Amino acid sequence: MNLAKISANGQITVPIEIRRQLGLKSGDKILFLQKQNGEIVVSNASAAAIQKAQVAFAGAAEALNVSSEDDIQALVDETRYGKER
């Protein structure tokens, strides 16, 4: 169990073990999420954003028939210059 004390300004120091587990470094932001049962979960905000983006874009490459760097470049060219792939 890790314990942190809240300062008069509402600040806490996240214990080193927790920072390591969450992959946090100086300047990173942490996210506080409340579950339906009232439990509060703390996570790395950057990692949570990346996971959300991965879920949102799941299947996009297949839908666009993109499977290589050349396909990506062709898609960029088509978007920028109106060139068909």
Q: Compute CA distances 9 → 6, 12, 19, whole Å.
A: 8, 9, 21
d(CA 74, CA 77): 5
Q: What is the pLDDT of residue 49?
A: 79
Instruction: Indicate yes or no: pTM above 0.75.
Output: no
pLDDT tens-place string over residues 44-57? 988 877 888 888 88
pLDDT tens-digit profile, the chain (85 residues): 889 999 999 999 999 999 999 999 999 999 999 999 999 999 998 887 788 888 888 888 888 888 899 988 988 888 898 866 4
Q: What is the pLDDT of residue 21?
A: 93
Q: Two tokens at 31?
A: 């996210």
Give the number of residues written for the chain.
Answer: 85
